[in-house]
Every structure is written in structure tokens, then in C-alpha cells.
Amino acid sequence: MKIAMVGSGYVGLVSGACFADFGHEVVCIDKDQSKIDALHQGIMPIYEPGLDALVESNVGAGRLSFTTSLAEGIAGASAIFIAVGTPSRRGDGHADLTYVHEVAREIGANLSGEAVVVTKSTVPVGTGDEVERILQASGTPHRFAVVSNPEFLREGAAIGDFKRPDRIVIGTEDDFGREVMREVYRPLFLNESPILFTSRRTSELIKYAANAFLATKITFINEMADLCEKVGANVQDVSRGIGMDNRIGPKFLHAGPGYGGSCFPKDTLALLKTAEDYDSPTRIVEAVVKVNDSRKRAMGRKVLDALGGAEAGRGKKAALLGLTFKPNTDDMRDSPAIAVAQTLIDAGVEVAAYDPEGMELARPLMPEVTMCENPYQAIADADVVAIVTEWDAFRALDLDRVKQLAKAPVLVDLRNIYDPEDLRARGFTYAGVGRG
């Protein structure tokens, strides 16, 4: 089967490469000529473990190609995926559907045969209806169906998530759409990956509901961490204690500096806007958004406290280890590190930082932060060292070297990756999150 993937960013490129690896013929389409030129040279526009090798092997096998021409790319395709960005719209937080609608109009003008048009982008409820109206208005004589197929990929583990998914959600009431999508996912269906067929609107809401629930779990355990610090409890034990309950589960119960990235921040805002439009308030999600926004600055104040407070911190140096919102990605979108660094800078603290993959994207977002070549260069002469992102590279730091380089052996562990007793036995002043 030929598949066209319109949009060659994170979702489109990973999905396209994985579909090609299943044996489909895939064309990834993007208007950004520089991105397509780079892909032709084997240069990935994002950092995702294993993606470069996956793309290279499927390009070499002739199953994966790239173009800037939508008309060329969709010609003969049985399934055309829309995988363009839907960023938060300025002013109201609603998902900006400009790119989705533009692609739908272009597909309608260039459709050369029957095809299923699939919204892979994260879109609000009712977007599929509008895409269908746009295609109908184009006057295309060819049969088509519009299907919702949300992605559930974790950055840093996206290839595994695509190939071994918890579930595949397909929203359609159209027999043609159902038939084509079964063929698209036949390799996974044979591996008994569960496929959930729903209405199109239900499928669109599932994506937002899933992300909002996970954001709620993160925010809940972060509030429990604050309470643990007040009452002298350990949030990691609390997480284990409640996570053993099958009704709750252990995932997304790790206390830290708050959620960030490309999905949770914009998707919770978009869900709030949809709920407002339909006069169905989502008070829990409203609270989650507010608490998470304030938490990032609070983590900056935690680092300041380790310096003796805002006044005492002026003129001192802080080393931040990790800048991306999570490990194994270069994604800086809504990363807690941005707010942590800015809080320190506002208090007159000099900030040096190191991240294994994110510094190129971090530089324009954090112009006052000194980017370093390795963690030890950042730590040199620091009055406090803060672990902001739990990259594996930071889990086994040479602590003797850290003590030797730093001006003071003070470690603020915003991801709880070190043992407090071990650090204190080595002469460190240690502060974790929720380990009262």
C-alpha cells in the first residue's frame, strides 16, 4: 500500500519511517525545502533514538522517500495522513488548525484517486468534520473518507511505541475508511495489537483526555511531594505505595519540576478551550494547568533556597544539568528548565548549563545562560548544582570530581535520581523533591 505522510516533523517522520519498515511504500511531504534536503542527506530534523538508522534502512530499501510536492506525494496513495503542527493559538490557547485546513484544501485540489484522509495531528473535537467539509467543497470527483487516528508516541521512545502500541485508536463511521485503515495497520493487527474503532469525534477526544489524565497524575504527585516535605514523608515511597494499586498504576507518579514538552501543555489548554466552547467546564484540568505553571518557578526558588535565598544568591553561580523537558530528546518546548533558569537569573545568579542534546535549541530561549561542553565544565566554581533533567549521563557523576570542581558541595536533585544518605555521607548538602 502507498501511504502519504503530510508533515515530516516528529509525528510524521517517525510514523512514516515505521510504516515503511512494515513494508508499505511511504512518501513524507513537507513544504520546508531545507528539511527535505537534509532528509535526503540522512540528517534528521529531530533527535529521536534509532530514527536515523530506521530512515536510512528504509530509504535504502526504496520504501521511504521525501518530497516538497504534495501533488506528487499523494498520487496513488490509498491513505493520506495529515501530521502537521497544531500549536496553541495566541490569546485563547485553542489549537491553531491553520496548517491542517491548508493541507486539507491542497489535498482536495490534488486528489487523483480514491483515498482515506487521516488526521494524525492532535486536533480538537469536530476537526474531522471540518476537514470533510473542505474536501467536499473542493469538488473532487474521487471517493474519500476522513478518519481520525491520534498518535500516542512518547518522545525518546517513539519507535518502540509505534511498533508495540498499547492500542491503536481509529475514528470512523465509514466502511471504506475502516477497510483501508485495517490494511494500513495489518502488520500490527497480526501481532495482536488492540485496535479500537470509535466514532470520529470520540477518537479526537480520546487523545486530549489521555494527555490531560497523565498531566493530572504528574501534577497530583508533585503536590503530594510538597506535602511530604512539610510532614516529613518520602514521596517516592508514597508513589510506590499508591502505584501498587492496579486501579492507579505506577507510571507518571514521579515527582519533579512539572511537565513540559510538545503535548501536555498545549493539549491541556486546547481541552480547556473545547470544554469552554461547549459550556462543559473541566475544573480539574484547569487546576492542573495552573499548578504546573507555578511549579516550574517554585523549582527555581528551591535552587535559590540552596544558595541561602534570593538575596544571598546574588552574584553566585548555579550549574544546571539537563535542559530538555525529558531525556532522550532535544525538545525544549515548555521545558521546566527555562523557568528554573529565568528565576535564578532574575535573582542575579549566574547560570551555566549542559544538556547532551538540547543546547542548540536552548540557546535562543536562554540567551543569558552559559552553555558548556560537558557537565563538569558547568559545575566548575558553582555554588550549587541542580539536576533538572534525568539524562542517564547524570546518574553516575564522578562525585569526587564534582566536589573538587564546585565552589560548594551543594546538590539540588529535582528528579530524585540520587540517594540522599549516600550524598550526605560523601559530604554533600543535598535537597531532593518530596523527600522530607
Distance CA 73, CA 263 (A): 27
Residues 6+ apart with CB under 8 A from 296: 257, 258, 260, 336, 338, 339, 340
Looking up cell 463511521 gives 173
- Is 240:306 a contact under the CB 8 Å cutoff? no
- Buried/exposed 302-338: b ≥16 CB within 10 Å, e otherwise: bbbebbeebeebeebbbbbbbbbbbbbbbbbbbbbbb
Gyration radius (Cα) of the chain, Å = 24
Which amino acid appears at position 429 of this protein?
T
Is 28 marked active-site? Answer: no
Residues 6+ apart with CB under 8 A from 252: 214, 217, 218, 221
- Which grid cell sits at 303? 535552587
- Which grid cell sits at 291? 499548578
Other C-beta atoms lying within 10 Å of the C-beta of residue 174: 17
Distance CA 58, CA 5 (A): 15
DSSP reduced 3-state for 17: helix
Distance CA 217, CA 390 (A): 19
CA neighbours within 13 Å on the CB side: how many for 89? 15
Which amino acid appears at position 227 of this protein?
L
Distance CA 175, CA 188 (A): 20
Length of the chain in terms of residues written: 436
Residues 6+ apart with CB under 8 A from 194: 166, 167, 168
Q: 18, 28, 263, 372: which one is catalytic?
A: 263
How distant, in Å, are the alpha carbons of 322, 384, 405 from that of 352? 11, 11, 14
Distance CA 175, CA 179 (A): 6
- State the catalytic residues: 263
